[in-house]
């Protein structure tokens, strides 16, 4: 499985509902035509928390949407780079989003998410100063299952370690987009206490490594080909 995740802001002049409608009703049918695409997931940001972050990071991580694309293998992912498909995506993206950043990630499922309605939290983790990439990865993986077991109501936990990144489809350095891991956490209810507890526990774990974290509560929508009128 190959996973691509993108983050972006809505166009400044666009209202929140107009942004969400465009993404769901207009952009999704275009994206669902990407050759080889296995799953297309839209995560609309509805809440945001940060810890141990600089002012520069705070500004960079003002986002409205998180997109997740799954492909069965690396060759299948090449469909997103075909000239015609790329142009169609770019032409529509120019109408409703900005500050597009994309990551290819190595996905590791720690706790499989249950097949039922759940609340999802997406967290972007940046290693602390002086911590090497390999050291961070090793330490962030260490005891992760044990940690997950301490989170009340946790129903799923996936770690996505970033292997490459782009800005507006152009290659980017780590310094330009300093994200090491994207964690996905699912909890069983949407009560403020449950969500805040899960976020606080994740941020505390990151703080022990001097890492900064941005956590977003999201509403998830997974369009089907039938829904958007695209042939299987």
Give pLDDT tens digits for 109-132.
Answer: 999 998 888 999 999 999 999 899
Per-residue pLDDT, 78: 87
pLDDT at 54 over 70: no
- Spans of all domains in the chain: 2-228
Q: What is the mean pLDDT of the chain?
A: 92
Closest CA to 91 of 40, 163, 151, 27: 27
What is the rounded average pLDDT of the residues 20-45? 96
How many helices (DSSP H) and strands (DSSP E) are in the chain? 9, 9
Per-residue pLDDT, 193: 86
CB 201 within 8 A of CB 154: no
Q: 187-192: which pairs have CB atoms within 8 A and are 24 or more residues apart?
A: 187/118, 187/119, 187/121, 187/151, 187/153, 187/154, 187/155, 188/118, 188/119, 188/153, 188/154, 188/155, 189/119, 189/153, 190/119
Per-residue pLDDT, 10: 98
pLDDT tens readout for residues 59-109: 678 999 999 999 999 998 888 888 999 999 999 999 999 999 999 999 999
Closest CA to 108 of 158, 145, 167, 181: 158
CATH level 2 (architecture), domain 2-228: 2-Layer Sandwich (3.30)
């Amino acid at each position: 499985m190959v996973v691509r995740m993108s983050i972006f802001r809505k166009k400044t002049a666009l209202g929140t509902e107009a942004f969400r409608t465009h993404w769901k009703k207009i952009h999704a049918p275009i994206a669902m035509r990407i050759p080889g695409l296995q799953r297309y997931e839209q995560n609309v940001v509805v809440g945001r928390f940060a810890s141990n972050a600089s002012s520069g990071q705070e500004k960079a991580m003002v986002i409205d949407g998180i997109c997740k694309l799954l492909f069965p293998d690396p060759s299948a992912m090449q469909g997103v780079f075909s000239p015609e498909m790329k142009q169609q995506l770019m032409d529509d993206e120019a109408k409703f989003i900005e500050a597009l950043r994309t990551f290819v990630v190595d996905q590791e499922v720690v706790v499989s998410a249950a097949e039922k309605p759940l609340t999802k939290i997406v967290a972007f983790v940046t290693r602390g100063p002086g911590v090497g990439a390999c050291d961070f990865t090793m330490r962030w993986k260490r005891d992760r299952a044990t940690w997950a077991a301490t989170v009340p109501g946790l129903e799923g936990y996936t770690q996505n370690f970033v292997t490459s990144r782009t800005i507006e489809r152009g290659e980017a350095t780590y310094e330009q987009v300093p994200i090491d891991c994207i964690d996905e956490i699912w909890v069983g209810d949407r009560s403020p206490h449950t969500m805040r507890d899960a976020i606080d526990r994740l941020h505390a774990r990151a703080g022990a490594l001097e890492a900064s974290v941005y956590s977003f509560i999201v509403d998830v929508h997974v369009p089907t080909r039938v829904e958007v009128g695209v042939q299987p």
